[in-house]
Amino acid sequence: MIVTRTFITDDERLAREELRTLLVNFPQIEIVGEAANATETLANLPRLKPELLFLDIEMPGCNGFQLLEKLPPPLPHVIFTTAYDKFAIEAFEINALDYLLKPVHPGRLALALERVPPPEAAAETPPDQSGSLEPSNSPLRETDNVFVRDGDRCWFAPVRTIRLLEAEGNHTRVHFQEFRPLLYRTLVALEARLPGTLFVRANRAQVINTSFIQSIEPWFSGTLKVTLQDGTEVEFSRRQTQVFRDRLAL
C-alpha cells in the first residue's frame, strides 16, 4: 500500500489528538509529525517532507494562509481544518484540497481524503483529455466533456450543456439537462476552470452559461435580470452587470 506522509498543524492540542484518532481508520495515511504553530511547522516540514498537511487557519502569530506563503516549494497538498466557515473562499482560491469544519465529521474526512492524489500519481497518471469537475486546476474548453459525480451517481456531460452553477455553502449545485448534482467544491474553484467564452458570474452565488439566456431585462439600480431557457431567473449584481456589459455589449 502506498502511504501518504501527513503532518498536522493546529494550535489546539485536543484538536490535534482528535484528528490523529480519526486518521487511525485510514491506513493510507502516515502521520509523520505535528506542530502547534507556524514556527514549529516551518522548522519541521523541510526535514519531514510530508505530502499532505492538515492546517488550522486561525493561530497566534501567523495564520494558516501566512504560513503557506513562507513554506519553501514543493508545497504539500493542504486540507484546512477550522472552526469558522468565513475563510472558505480564500482557502479554495489557493487550491486547497478541502476545507473541514471542526469538530471534524468522520464522513467528511473520508471524502476529503478521497481527493488526495497518491504520492506517485503525478508521475504515473497521464493527463485526462476529457476534463472533469472533480478536483483539478486545469482549464476546460467548450468542446470538453466532464465527469461529474454526486455520491453514487455519475455523469459524463458536455461542458456546453451546463447552464447554471449555484453556491450552496462550501458546495456547488450544477444544473445540466434534468440533473442537479451537488459537488463538494466551491463556486470559486469551479468557475476558475470553466471557459470564459461561455460562462459569466452573475452574483456571489451564481454563474451562468450565456448560451442558455432566453431574455434580459433592466432591473433595480441599473442591474440586469436574466431568464434562462428553463425559466430560471437570475439577478446580476451591480458589479457583475457592468462586467457583463463590458464583455458582451457592442
Do 23 and 114 lie in a common domain? yes
pTM of the entire predicted model? 0.51
Please report, for the domain that includes residue 192, its CATH number: 2.40.50.1020
HEC readout, 153-211: EEEEEEHHHEEEEEEECCEEEEEECCECCEECCCHHHHHCCCCCCCEEEEECCEEEEHH
User: Whole domain around residue 228: which residue ranges?
Assistant: 145-248
d(CA 231, CA 173): 17
d(CA 35, CA 17): 11
103 is a domain residue: yes
Residue with cell string 503525478: 122
Torsion angles phi and psi, residue 105, rounded to 5: -85, 135
Do 116 and 192 lie in a common domain? no
Do 154 and 237 lie in a common domain? yes
Do 64 and 171 lie in a common domain? no
102 is a domain residue: yes
Number of structural domains the chain divides into: 2
Please report, for the domain that includes residue 29, its CATH number: 3.40.50.2300
Q: Which three cell numbers mark 203?
A: 452574483
Q: What is the pLDDT along the chain (250 residues), one digit of tens a residue?
A: 689 999 999 999 999 999 999 999 999 999 999 999 999 999 999 899 999 999 999 899 899 888 988 888 778 889 999 887 665 555 554 557 788 889 999 999 998 898 888 776 443 433 333 455 655 556 888 988 887 888 767 887 889 999 999 998 889 999 999 999 999 888 988 998 899 999 999 999 999 999 999 999 999 988 999 999 999 999 999 999 998 988 877 6
